[in-house]
Amino acid sequence: MRTYSSRDRERLAQSALAVRRSAAATHPLLQLQRTAGNRAVTSIVVQRKSATDTAPAKVPGFLALDPVVANYVGKKGGGALKVETHSGPDLKALFLAYVKKHDVDTRSQETFVNGFTDLDTNVIHLNRDKGDAGTIVHEALHLHSDRTWISDQHWKVNEGATELFTRRVCDAAKVGRSDDAYPEVLGALRLLVTFSSVEALAAAYFKNETKQLQSDLEAVRPGLWTDWRITIIKSIKAANALLESLK
């Protein structure tokens, strides 16, 4: 067995310390994991995701992967997308100018904003620093939504339906989508379709053909479609309670 002098041992100890310091400097996330835990590392990694993570050219193909959506966007998922990316403040300014022009009530919407779709120009505007890979899918679906449906429905109904189809497309395309995207309105629309079908909602969303959706709800209770639409404007919780009471 080799023996070391006290000087040799001191040198080895200094070398090991230098290696550890070098590793910590080279791998800051590893150092953060050691000092603050996995959650801190995860939060940093998640924050690095962006609405620009998905190439626009891929999105039409993604839309076509879900059979219900494909019935309305076609086998190729529609034409090429027009996309512009912006800093957060610039995007917010664009969005506020757009909603002011169209007199859209945004007071109840969640903290703005990862992206929006300008339906006048058919341009998708994305936040280059926020969002996730599914943001552009959500915005692309807005482009395919029937304009009368958009104008007739409260934003909670429209966004909930858009997010429902976004999740279907993202699942089919294996594209990441945050659970934090419109969770309450998504839950409300998922509950609604248990009284009808995704296909009936798709006909309403993409073609403004609400007959089947309305008929299914009227079969549960006369006036339910109208009552639910009125109730959800006031409260998502109350709209859900209305449907739950009829199960």
83 and 195, same domain (yes or no): yes
Dist. CA 42–CA 218, nearest whole Å? 46
Residue 138 within a domain: yes
19 and 120, same domain (yes or no): no
pTM of the model: 0.79
Residue 167 within a domain: yes
Residue 115 within a domain: yes
How do residues 41-69 score in pLDDT, each as one tens digit? 444 444 446 778 899 999 999 999 999 99
102's tokens: 């169209």
117 and 209, same domain (yes or no): yes
Number of domains in the chain: 2
Dist. CA 89–CA 14, nearest whole Å? 49
19 and 109, same domain (yes or no): no
How do residues 175-211 score in pLDDT, each as one tens digit? 999 999 999 999 999 999 999 999 999 999 999 999 9
63 and 145, same domain (yes or no): yes
20 versus 245: which is more confidently predicted? 245
Dist. CA 60–CA 143, nearest whole Å? 11
Q: Which of 138, 162, 150 is nearest to 99 (CA)?
A: 150
36 and 143, same domain (yes or no): no
244's tokens: 């739950």
83 and 12, same domain (yes or no): no
Q: Which of 132, 131, 165, 126 is nearest to 149 (CA)?
A: 165
Dist. CA 149–CA 160, nearest whole Å? 13
Dist. CA 59–CA 52, nearest whole Å? 12
Residue 60 within a domain: yes
Residue 1 within a domain: no
15 and 81, same domain (yes or no): no
CB 130, CB 89: distance < 8 Å:
no
| 2 three-class SS | coil
Mean pLDDT score across all residues of the chain: 85
- The gap between the terminal CA atoms of the chain, to the nearest Å, is 78
Q: What range does the domain containing 38 cover?
A: 6-47
151 and 168, same domain (yes or no): yes
Rounded to 10°, the helix 6-26/28-36 angle is 100
When pLDDT is cut at 50, 70 and 90, the band that residue 102 belongs to is confident
